[in-house]
Amino acid sequence: MKTLIIVDVQNDFIPGGSLAVPEADQIVSVINTVQPKFDLVVASQDWHPQNHISFASNHPEKSVFETIKINEQTQTLWPDHCVQNTNGARFHPNLNTAKWEAIFRKGTDPGIDSYSAFYDNGHLKSTGLAGYLKEKGASQLFFCGLAADICVYYSIFDAFKEGFACFFIEDASKPLDVEGFKKIKEEMVYHGIQIINSSEI
Nearest to 118 by CA among 143, 84, 137: 143
Out of 80, 106, 113, 149, the active site residue is 106
- What is the enclosing helix (H) or strand (E) of 141? strand 140-146
Name the 3-class secondary structure at 106.
strand
Start-to-end CA span in the chain (Å): 14
What per-residue confidence (pLDDT) applies to 71? 85
Instruction: Give the rounded percent of residues in the chain with a pLDDT score beyond 90.
Output: 98
Confidence of residue 116 (pLDDT cuts 50, 70, 90): very high
Is residue 7 within 8 A of residue 143, CB to CB? The reply is yes
Residue range 82-93, pLDDT digits in tens: 999 999 999 999
Residue range 69-112, pLDDT digits in tens: 988 889 999 999 999 999 999 999 999 999 999 999 999 999 99
Q: Across residues 188-194, what is the average pLDDT?
A: 94
Q: Indicate the average pLDDT of the chain.
A: 97
Out of 82, 144, 151, 166, the active site residue is 151
Is 82 catalytic? The answer is no
Domains in the chain (CATH in brackets) are 2-49+83-200 (3.40.50.850)
